[in-house]
Amino acid sequence: MAIQTRYAGDANGVVNVDTGLGTLGNIVAPGLTKNPIAISVVLGSGQSFAASDLNTGGPVETILRSIALDSTITMYQVNTGSLSVLLEASGASTASAATSTSEGADAYSSTLVAAGLQSRIQGLTANLSANLGTGNVWANTATVVGSVNFKLATA
């Protein structure tokens, strides 16, 4: 691959899906074809994911399958009290989109996507981890937070 020396330019977006150019904390995704959305599924008070919740048919798979009904999951990370998910695109929303693309696809904000997914996840079977013996992941108390930020690493 040839090396091209850049004499001018900046670290702003390189493809048309980048939003919020010139501000810190936004996702710049040159490898994706759609605007990425980062969400976090936060468990209710006193609840936590256990290693067994990652098993087939467990709460993590159930929540991810629910999200994947109309969203493209790019990556996810399971922490003790939350499930962070990066979506390449999502059709989940509780309201009409504010803007549309030239292809006619609706462009939902991360807030609308989070609200739509929260309604869907809270509608799942209440105790998602009952069959695994942990009994500590309750869908009806989970909240979904939408954000333009996604931390790949923290210092």
pTM for this entry: 0.75
- Are 91 and 104 within 8 A, CB to CB? no
Over residues 24-47, mean pLDDT: 80
What mean pLDDT do residues 120-141 have? 83
CB atoms within 10 A of CB 148: 17
pLDDT of residue 127: 86
What is the DSSP-derived secondary structure letter of residue 80?
A: S
Task: Please choose, from the candidates 122, 141, 146, the residue with its C-alpha nearest in 3D space to the C-alpha of residue 66.
Answer: 122
pLDDT (tens digit, 9 = 90+) per residue, 81-127?
Answer: 899 898 887 777 765 444 444 444 556 777 888 888 898 999 988 88
